[in-house]
Amino acid sequence: MASSHTVLMRLVASAYSIAQKAGTIVRCVIAEGDLGIVQKTSATDLQTKADRLVQMSICSSLARKFPKLTIIGEEDLPPGEVDQELIEDGQWEEILKQPCPSQYSAIKEEDLVVWVDPLDGTKEYTEGLLDNVTVLIGIAYEGKAIAGIINQPYYNYQNNEKEKLREHGNEAQAGPDAALGRTIWGVLGLGAFGFQLKEAPAGKHIITTTRSHSNQLVTDCISAMNPDTVLRVGGAGNKIIQLIEGKASAYVFASPGCKKWDTCAPEVILHAVGGKLTDIHGNALQYNKEVKHMNSAGVLAALRNYEYYASHVPESVKNALIP
């Protein structure tokens, strides 16, 4: 019976199923061919039909099951009726078999804040760089990110889909029935699941950073770290996945622009496997409901050797980024 489980684990189990539905919606929008793109603040700050539908799906599904939650989503959408087809009321039973870490067992629904990025990597989504895209649901308690769910709608896209797309044309194979996608989840004190943890090559400084929001501060900060390789990709969720799968050794974004909904879920996954994510000054990010949404002092993250990267952030960069 659900009532025998803690609020946190029921929420994570529900969010897992909701994130999987979100991944299906993301693929359906592409398959239908009309992305419904609108510009928000600039040519690099976009919103698509998938952003809108996924946010409605996640927020409405969570609010129905957990009415006392605080839910903060990226998109500013008008209130209104949500199509029943967007509602997911299932939960992933495998998560309910896991023990809730004792420090979180007495948490009440009203104590939790959920940060939702319905489509992380929207610009890349519009450009067909589908493996950059993630759906992020982060759960915070007392200002700290404690549980997170990341859905990759197009995981395996590069490996499996190119041949199929060539054979069958884009539409059918990019649809909801394609054998694509995965969901990663984690809870602090329990662990992170749904992927194979791998470390980047020892002694190499492989830095992953922004693809479309770079500036002089970002460039100066990365240069000071003596990188062997710099990877420019979309999506905060995607960059953290690069860290936990050994493709990069640090994630550096020395600029405002990244928001709480970009970092909440990925931070949990990284912290659950022993990594570290902070702002450029080394401060922990705060996720209480009153906090400003912008990570104004940037992001610095690593699975291992965090101190090396933190010690190489130039003072000029720190002085330019006010927490």
Which residues define the annotated binding site for Mg(2+)? Answer: 74, 117, 119-120, 262
Q: Is residue 76 flagged as an active site residue?
A: no
User: Distance of alpha carbon 30 from its chain centroid, rounded?
Assistant: 20
> Which tokens go with 232?
């420019």
Residue 243: closest CA among 217, 264, 274: 274
Q: Which residues are annotated as a binding site?
A: 74, 117, 119-120, 262
Count CB neighbours of 259 within 10 A.
19
Active-site choice (24, 48, 51, 134): 51
* Spatial separation of the C-alpha atoms in residues 46 and 38, rounded to whole Å: 6
What are the distances in angstroms from CA 278 to CA 51, 144, 204, 292, 311? 26, 12, 21, 16, 13
How are beta strands 112-120 and 70-73 bridged, if at all?
Answer: parallel
Count CB neighbours of 256 within 10 A.
17
Q: Is residue 122 flagged as an active site residue?
A: yes
Amino acid at residue number 158: Q
Active-site choice (24, 83, 111, 122): 122
Q: Catalytic site residues?
A: 51, 122
